[in-house]
């Protein structure tokens, strides 16, 4: 484990002599700043490393490109127990195709029981931040001025808590530590939003608003607990 270096799957793959090492996760994101920055902060906080968690923000600017890029990465190195494809609904016209294709990803020589999971947020990743401070579930659509659903959400986010007043997609430095104690509540709200969307008859992966980011968070927390128990 100690001699793994770099951030690419190629650099961090397990050698045949070490196939029983700790489980690994790969997170491929649509955003090159917002999502990778958050997950990097999270794995540092949890005591995980890039040897066990690979984060790639090179998935492109559309949901389908995230799935295609993940497929390429897994062809190079399939040795991950957990694979998360993180992308937004917003106004992307490839969203539904990305959900469908993510279910069909089956890399060769993958670890037994490998889980490849689509992690969409509706309208965008920022709903995960908002769930830290509010459980409100008003749907987001194109605003009166033609702004995107994400722009509408960010307006709400900035007004929801002082720590988000100067929200910048490029970094979470201004608020990460402040919202950290609210993470369990955010997970509960994310679960509840999915449950309520289902009860309302909204199609799977279409609940507005909703996110599955908490599934990534819980997996990383579980990996950290296992790592601590092994040390």
Helix (H) or strand (E) holding 39: helix 34-46
E strand spans, 63-127: 82-88, 115-122
Map tokens 């070490």 to a residue: 18
Query: In this structure, what token pair is assigned to residue 73?
Result: 């990465």
Alpha-carbon span 143 to 177, nearest angstrom: 31
Stretch 49-56: mean pLDDT: 95
Domain boundaries, the chain: 24-230
Stretch 174-183: mean pLDDT: 98
Residue 88, SS3 per DSSP: strand
Q: What is the pLDDT of residues 127-148, one digit of tens each?
A: 999 999 999 999 999 766 678 9
Q: What is the pLDDT of residues 74-111, one digit of tens each?
A: 999 999 999 999 999 999 999 999 999 999 999 999 99
- In sequence order, what are the beta bridge partners of 91? none
Alpha-carbon span 190 to 202, nearest angstrom: 15
pLDDT for 13: 59
Whole-structure pTM value: 0.90
Cα dihedral: 223, 29, 187, 210 (round 10): -150
DSSP structural state of residue 110: P
């Amino acid at each position: 484990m100690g001699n793994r270096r770099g951030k690419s799957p190629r650099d961090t793959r397990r050698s045949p002599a070490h196939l029983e090492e700790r489980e690994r996760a790969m997170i491929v994101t649509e955003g090159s700043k917002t999502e990778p920055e958050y997950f990097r902060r999270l794995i540092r906080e949890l005591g995980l490393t890039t040897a066990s968690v690979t984060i790639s923000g090179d998935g492109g600017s559309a949901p389908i490109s995230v799935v295609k890029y993940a497929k390429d990465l897994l062809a190079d190195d399939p040795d991950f127990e957990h694979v998360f494809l993180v992308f937004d609904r917003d106004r992307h016209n490839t969203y539904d195709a990305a959900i469908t294709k993510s279910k069909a990803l089956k890399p060769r020589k993958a670890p037994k029981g490998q889980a490849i999971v689509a992690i969409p947020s509706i309208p965008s990743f920022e709903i995960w931040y908002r769930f830290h401070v509010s459980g409100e579930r008003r749907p987001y659509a194109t605003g009166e001025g033609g702004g995107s659903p994400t722009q509408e959400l960010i307006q709400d986010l900035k007004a929801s808590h002082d720590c988000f007043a100067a929200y910048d997609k490029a970094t979470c430095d201004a608020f990460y530590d402040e919202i950290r104690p609210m993470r369990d509540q955010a997970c509960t709200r994310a679960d509840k939003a999915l449950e309520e969307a289902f009860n309302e008859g909204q199609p799977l992966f279409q609940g507005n608003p909703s996110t599955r980011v908490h599934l990534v968070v819980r997996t990383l927390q579980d990996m950290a607990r296992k790592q601590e128990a092994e040390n």
